[in-house]
């Protein structure tokens, strides 16, 4: 069983570590969505081959792409994930009390469990759909 409080799980709570992920970020200067502003808003850069501007909040796991130079990362984050506890913080993670830090970790864990649950449900529904189609073919003699 994975430990709840391991050092590695907190690595991306720190602004500087989030900022380091923005190598190759397509927006650098003369815009609002600079790597610095993205990291301050809780995002890490998670590019894919066909989406070089994907960013994910390490706290609520919300992924956003299709960034425009004038997009404000904090406003976009709040708009797309209003319940994210990180975006509602009034201070830096480094300045949180132990109680606040643990609550932030708890909310992150809840988001992770929710995401895994949704992925499992989607996978199950896809498998069930395939199985149902096979059963219908067998029942109707189409195979």
Distance CA 39, CA 20 (A): 9
DSSP for 53-94, written as a single string: T-EEETTT--EE----TT--HHHHHHHH-TT-TTTT-SS-GG
| pTM of the predicted model as reported, rounded to 2 decimal places | 0.79
Quickly list H helices, the chain. Answer: 7-10, 15-20, 35-40, 73-80, 98-140
Domain assignments of the chain as residue spans, ordered by start: 7-140
Distance CA 9, CA 59 (A): 11
Mean pLDDT, to the nearest integer, of 104-127?
94
Looking at the structure, give the CATH architecture of the domain made up of residues 7-140: Orthogonal Bundle (1.10)
Nearest to 26 by CA among 37, 34, 18: 34
Residue 110, pLDDT score = 93
Residue 87, pLDDT score = 87
Band (pLDDT 50/70/90 cuts) for residue 22 is very high
Distance CA 37, CA 18 (A): 11
């Amino acid at each position: 069983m994975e430990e709840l409080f391991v050092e590695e799980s907190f690595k991306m709570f720190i602004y500087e570590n989030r900022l380091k992920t923005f190598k190759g970020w397509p927006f650098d200067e003369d815009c609002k969505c600079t790597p610095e502003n993205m990291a301050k808003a809780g995002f890490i850069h998670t590019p894919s081959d066909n989406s070089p501007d994907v960013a994910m909040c390490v706290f609520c796991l919300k992924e956003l792409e299709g960034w425009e130079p004038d997009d404000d990362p904090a406003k976009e984050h709040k708009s797309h994930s209003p319940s994210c506890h990180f975006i509602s913080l009034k201070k830096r993670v480094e300045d949180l009390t132990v109680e606040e830090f643990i609550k932030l970790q708890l909310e992150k864990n809840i988001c992770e469990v929710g995401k895994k649950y949704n992925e499992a449900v989607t996978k199950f529904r896809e498998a069930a759909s395939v199985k149902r189609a096979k059963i219908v073919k067998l029942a109707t003699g189409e195979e």
